[in-house]
Amino acid sequence: MKIPGPYSGGIILSYQCNLSCIHCLYNCHGKWNSWINIEKLEKIIKTLKNIKNFTSLHLTGGEPFINFPLLLESVRLCKKYEIPFFVETNCYWAKNIQITEEKLKKLKENGLNSIMLSYSIFYVDKVPIENFEIAMRKSIEIFGSENVSFYTISGYKLIKDLNIKGNLSFEKCLNLIGEKNFINFLKTYIVPKGKVLYTLDKWFFKFPAEKFKRANCVYEFLNPYHIHIDLYGNYMPSFCAGITIGNYEEVLEKGINDEDKVLKFLLNDIYELLLWAESYGYKRKDGYVNKCHLCLDIRKFLIENNFRFDSLKPEEFYKNL
Ligand code: SF4
Ligand code: SF4
């Protein structure tokens, strides 16, 4: 099946992160150790640049600032190909004004014009709120307020209003925020896919598997608004994590790899995937948050039981899920 060219998307430079947030879509943490090869990155950027309607690229991870030389190189490449882009970060590195200014100015000199800063209750145990505030102030000064975005400002304000200084564990922070405020925050913040379906599942309503009969992923696979290509070349649509519809070059040229058994099921009916997995020993749960929860739980079972499919990548994603 052919897909429309994407309008916007991110390149995952690495899954390595100094944090391992409980809401992390891609199950990033410090044990991932590969980073994108610069030639591969250039090829991906060139490909995206040649897509007619592609208007916005983000360089992301993992945490791109961990490998600052590679980040600088990546920024230079984006500048060279004149592709509109920004960088995402969790601000861990913004330890003081001097460091922050140095890094941001270097990025600007090399061609960066726009940045997205992330902060919320999920970061506060490892990234002090002061780091985010320094990064915010300096980014606005260096790039201009119209070129700085936040994920999310309400997530930050929730912590700020508690007058927290430095770090605080997630549990203590949650106690201070209160369940009602936390649920309201989750509604506007969380993408209910990936790791969060296990770590925060008690906060979601669940439905029996029958609810997802005849559900499929055609809309998500064809959705051109938010795709990711990772360092291995995996093309991942619509925030899907640990699953790829193919290598990005093949996907953009020929379409979805619909020879893959898992993708075939997902293009047709996810309930059929469940019945098939059950025939190999998968035990269905009493309830699932959504079809992505059902999908992820089956994929996890498949990987843990040594089934191998081209679509279930990168495999490390499934470790410690
Ligand atoms: S900072 Fe971002 S990439 Fe890193 S673990 Fe948290 S959500 Fe994932
Ligand atoms: S069910 Fe699976 S493949 Fe489909 S959108 Fe959700 S995570 Fe992606």
pLDDT along the chain (321 residues), means of 10: 95 97 95 97 97 96 97 98 98 98 98 97 95 98 98 94 91 94 92 93 95 97 95 96 97 93 98 98 97 98 97 95 88
The token pair that represents 251 in the structure block: 């996907």
Place of tokens 């922070």: 173
Distances in Å between the Cα of 261 and the Cα atoms of 129, 255, 269 are 45, 15, 12
CATH architecture of 8-201: Alpha-Beta Barrel (3.20)
Which atom of ligand 2 is least distant from the CA of 299? 2
260 lines ligand 1 (CB under 6 A): no
Closest ligand to C-alpha of residue 268 is 2
What's the pLDDT score for residue 46? 97
Residue 309: helix, strand or coil by DSSP? coil
Place of tokens 């991932």: 32
Q: Could you tell me the distance, in angstroms and rounded to a whole number, from the CA of residue 52 to the centre of ligand 1?
A: 31
Q: What ranges do the domains of the chain cover? A: 8-201
Spatial strand order in the sheet of 56-60: 148-151, 115-118, 85-89, 56-60, 8-12, 227-230, 235-237
Q: Could you tell me the distance, in angstroms and rounded to a whole number, from the CA of residue 196 to the centre of ligand 1?
A: 12
The token pair that represents 248 in the structure block: 């990005």
Look up residue 281 and give its DSSP letter.
T
Closest ligand to C-alpha of residue 288 is 2
The token pair that represents 257 in the structure block: 């790899």
Which atom of ligand 2 is least distant from the CA of 241? 7
The token pair that represents 274 in the structure block: 């469940």
What's the pLDDT score for residue 258? 83
Query: Around Cβ 163, how many Cβ atoms within 10 Å?
Result: 8
Place of tokens 């619509």: 238
Among protein residues, the one with the nearest Cα to ligand 2's atom 1 is 292
Closest ligand to C-alpha of residue 197 is 2
The token pair that represents 205 in the structure block: 């309503």
Q: Is the omega angle on the peptide bond into residue 314 within 30 degrees of 0, that is, cis?
A: yes
Q: Could you tell me the distance, in angstroms and rounded to a whole number, from the CA of residue 239 to the centre of ligand 2?
A: 8
Q: Could you tell me the distance, in angstroms and rounded to a whole number, from the CA of residue 75 to the centre of ligand 2?
A: 31
**Which of these, 308, 319, 276, 314, lies nearest to 294 by C-alpha position?**
276
Residues forming a β-bridge with 56:
8
Query: How far is residue 285's CA from residue 219's CA, in Å, rounded to a whole number?
Result: 25
